[in-house]
Structure 1
Amino acid sequence: MIPDLVVIGAGSAGITAARNAASLGATVLLVERDKPGGDCLWTGCVPSKALLAAARAAHAVRTAGRFGVRVLDPPKVEFAAVLDYVRGVQREIEPVDSAEGLAAAGIKLVTGSARFTGRRELMVDGEAMHFRTALVATGSAPLLPDLPGLDEAPVLTSDTVWEMEKLPSRLVVLGGGAIGCEFGQAFGRLGCDVTVVEVEERLLPAEEPAVSRVLADVLLAEGVRVLTGATPLRWSDGELLIRSSDGVEESLLGDALLVAVGRRPRTDELGLDAAGVHTDPGGHLAVDTRLRTSNRRIYAAGDVTGAPPFTHVAVAHGAVAAHNAVLGPWRTAPTDALPWVVFTDPEVARVGLTVAAARELPGQLKVRRVNAAHVDRAVAEGRGEGFSVLVGDSRGRLVGATLVSPHAGESITELGAVLQRSGRLRDIADLVHPYPTFAEGPWLAATQQRRAELGRPRARRLVAAARWAYDLWLRVRWPGNR
């Protein structure tokens, strides 16, 4: 029997697509060469957030004194126990994506490697099969730069860091993006002497400059050394040779090197040419807005398409691809209101445009910023280092938001919903937010804009007219109460 949909890759995009397609009555074959669950469960989101939780606990003990809580002995981090905790979290989540769980949803899971041999044919571990439609959801892998010495000695990546058995005394992190900053802070809190090296002039270079400053200050305060504008030259015998933007060379000692400079699509040995599937210059599968490849019977979803490499984006892609593969290509993949979070402490969350990107829009922007020092919850918890920025277009419609605060990732979805529906900053101001919460930050920023609008001459005239009309109504309605 020819399956309605063959899904290659049992990660977040693939499993979501398989489950959705099966729920629509399609026969689904899911092919995975390793374990179902993908990077998110085994090397990405789940283990990294468990590690961050352990690091946050260690940091909380060390800094409890500022709340008047005296810790008599310094905390001792047992790295083996930390890894046991991480693996325990994985074991707890694993059954959701297990072969048994997938079978219960009507999905046949095959362990093996898939390779296209034609436009509607593929081989799975030597067995030929046809398909009605197929979905490539093979994800991405850590990118290793062309740096002398990397191929001569083992280095760590976000995939292999979980194989460590001992916490390194000195850790050099190459890359100041989201993964580098998260791991840099986490291992610093667990007791490593950490240096983060970034070739750009600031951490998280795609974010607001103020984000980079806050995060660098936080890391420095916690003892993490941050070197920006630094070009790596060579890794050899536990030393990373770098050159600063001023041309000064320096050797950084490290018991381990963690490389976090980006990711590359996993398309090796898929036989894309045989299937007539085109790729872009970066090796990602080229797709249209409905996630169709150049072979209209083959779809692609998640990291392999070059979309932002986040699990929630992969899940959204998987849902769209399944619908289109089974019911016809009518749904488009979301692009404009995709939130993302850097899970440092404080968290960095953004949806939509930065201020710099929004300046390309016509008309005058409406930019409102509130520092965390004005948010009562942040003051109560001693977390005044962050801020909230809302960016509106010339009509006051929200086009971007950046939050830096604890739990920023929990607040950004609300702003994404406003942005997706072309809502205005005043719509955020009209929402009643519970007090005291960190979510009050963006609300205060929106309230600033609302009050600024009421302060304009035309608005003042309208307010004055409304007050006059109300006073007249009172005089007519109750003439004796003057």
Structure 2
Amino acid sequence: MAEYDFDLIIIGSGAAGLTIASGAAQLGVKVLLIEKEKQMGGDCLHYGCVPSKTLIKCAKVRHQMSKAESYGLPAPKLDPVDFSKISAHIKSVIETIQPHDSPERFESLGAVVRFGIASFTDAHTIALAPQDGGTPEHISGKIIVIAAGSTPSAPPFKGLDQVEYLTNETVFFQQSLPPKLTVIGGGPIAVEMAQSLHRLGSQVTLLQRSANILSKEDADMAEVVEQSLREDGINVITNSSIEEITKDGDQISVHYGTKEHPAQKVTSDNLLVALGRTPSVHALNLENAGVEFSKKGIPVDEKMRTNVPHIYAVGDITGKYQFTHAAGYEGGIVIANAVFKMPRKADYTLIPWVTYCDPELASIGYNEKRAKDAEIEYTVRTEEFASNDRALAENQPEGKLKLLQDNKGRVIGVQIVGIHAGELINEWVAILGGKVKLSTLAGAIHPYPTLGEINKKVAGSILSEKVFSPFTRKVLRTLFKYRGKA
């Protein structure tokens, strides 16, 4: 049997890599964790979840201040935003969290942490090149996990390579806010950033190629968010086709067309491109290990294995569900299969996700689009936030909850668009994951007034049709001689 330097080598210290390194090291596995950047934590900590949610909070606070009169409060005098101070605040939040993902912490658990650029020389050997470009060191591993993440996509728009533009890796750390900003994209990152930067003071135009923003969501749910963007003052242009990007001095123009108006342009001080992410596959020399890959990522089976059985891939690099919580979940799948040697398959049926716009949009299980694609027969039940007393007290009655049931009455999905939807979906994570009956939810005591009552109410409305049915009334009249309305 071959002797390897390490039992397990992990390339990348994002959510998946850290999950695997922590679990495996504490189980007595000899682990090497490799990170190409100067700090651990991956995109989520440095360019994604943490900075974006911090920025979103800053923007929401300012927006609420601007709406003070709608709460019966005096209108405050709001000075222009100094974005350098917001950027400093974002950095301070990252620095506060950074110790959780520090080399010292993971080395204390038993892992070896090395910084450098990793690439395959063969199926069991990694060439680790120093970040300063020095001579690579060759390190072997019995099992190798690729968790190298992704980078912002650079679409092949004519002229894009001739201008400097923002992505999620640069937008948080600008020293000033662009007076005018064009956002290309209509997915979660585009929507979150467009709304936040507009609320902080930028005049924003958002260009989306589809008929709706958040095109993976049901149109009626996405429309609630789109209406909010428009009410904020964002110029949302859908069904647009980008033709060319040009620069004139300090100004950037995006030339685009729609069916009604084929030749238009929008000019701004800066451009934010948010059209998805590209798996970071090319620098790894995967062909040296015989690992199959494409520009869409590394294909894996249900156990997170590549076509080479001892090499796993997890997180964004697979091109599947590009969420931090999905990456962490996949890390657990690898621990079960690679360390415990217990067959465990990934199941994404009940993976939740949230777009942190205002109002938030959260989802778990099937929405109508996915149910139709899967040819599942379903019925829909909705509850409006306008009927929730806490939402009214918070002055945020926009949105609704939508629940899907199959033809056997089983809940197959829930979508929520409204205030704190991302928190409200967590109750459905437990309900659907734990196979809790709707009768249990309907009978549970929820504190009043809370937004969570909307979950109880939709369950109660389904059960009430059975409890208060004509059949039930007939039985009770027969048994107890009740004389009320039949």
TM-score computed with the length of structure 1 as normaliser: 0.93
Alignment partner, residue 214 of structure 2: 204
**Alpha-carbon shift at residue 461 of structure 1 (Å):** 3.1
SS at match of 1:229: coil
2:379 alignment counterpart: 366
Deviation for aligned residue 1:217: 1.1
- Taking the aligned partners of 1:17 and 1:141, their CA distance within structure 2 comes to 21
Alignment correspondent of 1:335: 348
Counterpart Cα distance in 1 of 2:240 and 2:119: 41
- Per the TM alignment, residue 421 of structure 1 is displaced from its structure 2 partner at its CA by 4.1
2:5 alignment partner AA = I
- Aligned match for 2:454, one of 426, 441, 458: 441
Within 5 Å, which residues of 2 pair with 1:232-311?
232-237=242-247, 238-279=252-293, 281-311=294-324
Paired AA for residue 153 in structure 1: V
In 2, Cα distance between equivalents of 1:363 and 1:94: 44
- Give 1:103 shift: 1.2
1:38 corresponds to which of 42, 47, 68: 42
Q: Residue 380 and residue 461 in structure 1: after superposition, are their counterparts in 2 closer, same or farther (change >3 A)?
A: same
Per-residue CA deviation, residues 310-364 of structure 1 (Å, 9 max, x unaligned), is 1111111112212321121512223110000000011100011112332466775
Distance 1:361 1:248, change over 3 A: closer
Work out whether residues 21 and 323 of structure 1, in 8 Å CA contact, stay in contact via their aligned partners in 2. Answer: no
Query: Against the structure 1 CA distance between its residues 5 and 454, is the aligned structure 2 distance closer, same or farther, given a 3 Å change threshold?
Result: same
Output the CA distance in 2 between the equivalents of 1:407 and 1:40: 21
Alpha-carbon distance in 2 for matches of 1:391, 1:182: 26
Pick from 70, 74, 82 the counterpart of residue 70 of structure 1.
74
* Structure 1 position 244, deviation (Å): 0.9
Quick check: 2:65–2:76 contact (8 Å CA) kept in 1? no
Letter in 1 for 2:62: A
SS at match of 1:184: helix
1:80-135 deviations in Å (ceiling 9; x for gaps): 11111101100100001111111111111100111111121221121112111010
Amino acid at match of 1:22: A
Unaligned runs of 5+ in 2: 130-135
- Equivalent position of 1:103 in the other structure: 107
Percent identity (aligned): 34
Q: 1:405·1:438 contact (CA, 8 Å) conserved in 2?
A: no
Q: State the TM-score, normalizing by the size of structure 2.
A: 0.92
> Which residue in 2 is equivalent to 1:318?
331
What letter corresponds to residue 68 of structure 1 in structure 2?
G
Aligned pair 1:347/2:360, yes or no? yes
**Where does 1:356-435 land on structure 2 (aligned, <5 Å)?**
356-359=369-372, 364-435=377-448
Q: Is the 8 A contact 2:337 2:344 kept in 1?
A: yes
Range that drifts further, 186-195 or 233-242 = 233-242
The residue type equivalent to 1:352 in the other structure is G
Deviations 1:370-422 (A, max 9, x none): 11111111111111111100101111111111101121111112212322344
Q: Retained in 1: the 8 A contact 2:87–2:173?
A: no
1:453 CA drift (Å): 3.0
Contact 2:149 2:317 in 1 (8 A): yes
Paired with 1:245 and 1:423, the residues of 2 have a C-alpha distance of: 48
Q: What root-mean-square deviation, in Å, do the aligned CA atoms of Structure 1 and Structure 2 show?
A: 1.9
Q: After the TM superposition, which segments of 4 or more aligned residues of structure 1 sit over 6 Å from their partners?
A: none
- Report SS of the residue matched to 2:254: strand
Q: Give 2:35's aligned amino acid.
A: E
User: Which amino acid in the other structure matches residue 375 of structure 1?
Assistant: N
SS, match of residue 284 in structure 2: coil
Matched, 1:28 2:31: yes
Work out whether residues 389 and 442 of structure 1, in 8 Å CA contact, stay in contact via their aligned partners in 2: no
- Note closer, same or farther for the CA distance 1:290–1:319 as it changes in structure 2 (3 Å cut): same
Aligned position for 2:19: 16
Give the counterpart of 2:193 among 177, 183, 186. Answer: 183
* 2:169 pairs with 1:169: no
Contact preservation (8 Å) 1:348, 1:403: yes
Counterpart contact for 1:7–1:30, Cα < 8 Å: yes
Matches of 1:346 and 1:362 in 2, distance apart? 30
More moved, 157-166 vs 169-178: 157-166
Letter in 2 for 1:275: A
Moved more, 361-370 or 395-404: 361-370
1:282-309 Cα shifts (integer Å, max 9, x gaps) = 4311111110111111111111112211
The letter for the 2-side match of 1:228 is T
User: Mean Cα displacement is larger for which, 304-313 or 437-446?
Assistant: 437-446
Aligned pair in 2 of structure 1 residues 144, 356: CA closer, same or farther (>3 Å)? same
Q: Letter of the aligned partner of 2:126 in structure 1? A: L
SS at match of 1:117: strand
User: Which SS does the other structure have where 1:4 is aligned?
Assistant: strand
Distance 1:421 1:148, change over 3 A: same
Name the counterpart of 2:225: 215
* Secondary structure at the counterpart of residue 338 of structure 2: helix
* One-letter amino acid of the counterpart of residue 281, structure 2: T
Q: Judging changes above 3 Å, is the alpha-carbon distance between structure 1 residues 144 and 363 closer, same or farther for their aligned structure 2 residues?
A: closer
Determine which of 151, 154, 159 is the counterpart of 2:161: 151
Q: Distance in 1 between the 2:228 and 2:182 partners?
A: 18
Between the aligned partners of 1:362 and 1:311, the Cα distance in structure 2 is 29
442-451 vs 76-85, greater mean Cα deviation: 442-451
Deviation larger for 50-59 or 427-436: 427-436
Give the counterpart letter for 2:89 in structure 1: Y
**Inter-partner Cα distance in structure 1 for 2:101 and 2:434:** 33
Which of 141, 147, 150 matches 2:151? 141
SS in 2 for 1:389: strand
- The whole-number CA distance in structure 2 between the counterparts of 1:435 and 1:332 is 40
Counterpart residue type for residue 272 of structure 1: L
User: Mean alpha-carbon deviation: is it higher for 186-195 or for 73-82?
Assistant: 73-82
